[in-house]
Structure 1
Amino acid sequence: MITNEDEARDWLRGLPECDDAAMARLGLLVEMLAQENQRQNLVSAASLDQVWKRHIVDSAQLLPHVPRETTLPWMDLGTGAGFPGLVIAALRPECEVIMVESRNRRIEWLDCARIEMGLERARIVGSRLELVESQPCSVISARAFAPLDKLLALSSRFSTSDTIWLLPKGRSASQELDDLRNWRHVFHVEQSLTDPQAGIIVGKLAGGKGKTA
């Protein structure tokens, strides 16, 4: 379990995807986040004291669940302040990362951060998810976006039988998975590295469409 900022940065440097350039991009994100948070409430002010643990590593811990050879795009739903989308893009700048966000001020922030960080293959889709054009994605992530059943109903059209779902769910992970009905899936809960009481739902929808008759 990662307990402080030094441990968080050390863990990041151990990732195969993390080099000096990636750490520089993440450092720039941290600086920009602190500045923008004075203008709009992107994250709780208290969390900025542990930003590397609470937001950077909390996002980056999804990467080890994705094989390096996986063909992207990676779609991040309800990206908000850019977690995990901007962090994934910073660590995998060669890959297409699609961040879906409907709130105008968040969209402006995401696009500004993307440009400043030099993330040419990342893009922002400024729209409600219901209006986003369907396309197959290799990875779908969502951090505190919607309850699991609703999330699947909204986004299963982006999934194939090979799509990896990575859904940080905090303390509700196990309960939401236990309550899930009428979906063919191979999901399980992984322990979060940043919160001993939080879990990440990881897995795939069987057959791609998911919902049974």
Structure 2
Amino acid sequence: MTIETEAQAQAWLRDVVGADVAAMDRLARLAILLTEENERQNLVARGTLPHVWQRHILDSAQLLAVPRETVPDGSWLDLGTGAGFPGLAIAALQPSRPITLVDSRKLRTEWLARAAADLGLGNVTVVLSRVEDLPPQQHAVISARAFAPLDRLLQLSARFSTPETLWLLPKGAKAAHELAELPQGWRHMFHVEQSLTDSNAGVIAGRLLDTPTLKRHTGKHSKVPNP
């Protein structure tokens, strides 16, 4: 199923995710803030703004209803969050869940902090940092939307994960290819689900069970056989 209209996207949020009136109001306000800020800095492609519910809000919210996965309670880490997707949209839907938004661009993080405050989202922490420089801290959920190729993403962020952490990674048309090309040594239970917003796009979801031994400074894997 592919959701193709703004009305369908809003209906899905209410019917599937269970977004109440307050959550829908927060998301509507987020759409306004995004449109206004996009005049000052290029947060998203201008052509996507008339379809913001489908292209950005629903594209984020679908992570709460990925088939074959149950999203655990606990803290959520969104890496390379950019315009706040998926992390800020998830925070608007789940205002009691601690969510950390990480981005290395100062203007982006300043806007994210203002938007979170405007939406009354005290559950959001905005961090200006490269992923490489973040202190290690485990999270229940890790997301990243078009942030880095899967192998590189895992190298950078496996230290934030436990075997119980759920990874939710919108990957566009390259999802299946990136998963198939993941080098030997990563023990995982990842799979690809079709995106609700694009019939050609996929979401990599699942758990990272173990990591290969990484050679210092080179970023290359030593060979660790699968069990």
Which interval holds the TM-score relative to the shorter structure?
over 0.9
Q: Name the counterpart of 1:190.
A: 193
Name the TM-score, length of structure 2 as normaliser: 0.90
Q: Name the counterpart of 2:112.
A: 110
Q: Find the partner of 1:173 among 153, 172, 175.
A: 175
- Secondary structure of 2:135's aligned partner: coil
Q: Name the counterpart of 1:79.
A: 81
Residue 98, structure 1, aligned to residue 79, structure 2: no
Question: What CA distance in whole angstroms lies between the structure 2 residues aligned with 1:82 and 1:2?
Answer: 21
How far apart are 1:137 and its partner, in Å?
Answer: 0.5
Residue 42, structure 1, aligned to residue 20, structure 2: no
- Amino acid corresponding to residue 202 of structure 2 in structure 1: G
Q: Name the counterpart of 1:15.
A: 16
Seen in structure 2, the aligned counterparts of structure 1 residues 29 and 12 have a Cα distance that, compared at 3 Å, is same
| Structure 2 unaligned residues grouped into runs of 5+ | 214-223
- Secondary structure of 2:192's aligned partner: strand
Map 1:33-72; keep pairs closer than 5 Å. 33-65=34-66, 67=70, 70-72=72-74
Question: What CA distance in whole angstroms lies between the structure 2 residues aligned with 1:206 and 1:158?
Answer: 13
- Amino acid corresponding to residue 47 of structure 1 in structure 2: T
Q: Find the partner of 1:202 among 202, 205, 225.
A: 205
Q: Is the 8 A contact 1:17 1:92 kept in 2?
A: no
How far apart are 1:187 and its partner, in Å?
Answer: 0.5
Residue 26, structure 1, aligned to residue 23, structure 2: no
How far apart are 1:179 and its partner, in Å?
Answer: 0.3
How far apart are 1:206 and its partner, in Å?
Answer: 1.1
**Corresponding residue pairs, total:** 210
How far apart are 1:49 and its partner, in Å?
Answer: 1.1
Question: What CA distance in whole angstroms lies between the structure 2 residues aligned with 1:110 and 1:16?
Answer: 23
- CA-atom RMSD, angstroms? 1.1
How far apart are 1:169 and its partner, in Å?
Answer: 0.3
Runs of 4+ in 1 over 6 A off after TM superposition: none
- Amino acid corresponding to residue 168 of structure 2 in structure 1: L
Q: Is the 8 A contact 1:75 1:98 kept in 2?
A: yes
Question: What CA distance in whole angstroms lies between the structure 1 residues aligned with 2:179 and 2:12?
Answer: 28
- Secondary structure of 1:14's aligned partner: helix
How far apart are 1:67 and its partner, in Å?
Answer: 3.3
Q: Name the counterpart of 2:147.
A: 145
- Amino acid corresponding to residue 26 of structure 1 in structure 2: L
Identity of aligned residues (%): 54
Question: What CA distance in whole angstroms lies between the structure 2 residues aligned with 1:122 and 1:15?
Answer: 24
Question: What CA distance in whole angstroms lies between the structure 2 residues aligned with 1:17 and 1:185?
Answer: 30
Question: What CA distance in whole angstroms lies between the structure 2 residues aligned with 1:172 and 1:189?
Answer: 10
Q: Name the counterpart of 2:221.
A: none
How far apart are 1:14 and its partner, in Å?
Answer: 1.1
| Structure 1 unaligned residues grouped into runs of 5+ | none
Q: Is the 8 A contact 2:17 2:65 kept in 1?
A: no
Seen in structure 2, the aligned counterparts of structure 1 residues 49 and 120 have a Cα distance that, compared at 3 Å, is same
How far apart are 1:125 and its partner, in Å?
Answer: 1.0
Give CA-to-partner distance per residue, 1:49-85, whole Å, 9 cap, x none: 11000000000000124636x2311000000000001
Question: What CA distance in whole angstroms lies between the structure 2 residues aligned with 1:17 and 1:87?
Answer: 14
- Secondary structure of 2:16's aligned partner: coil
- Secondary structure of 1:187's aligned partner: strand
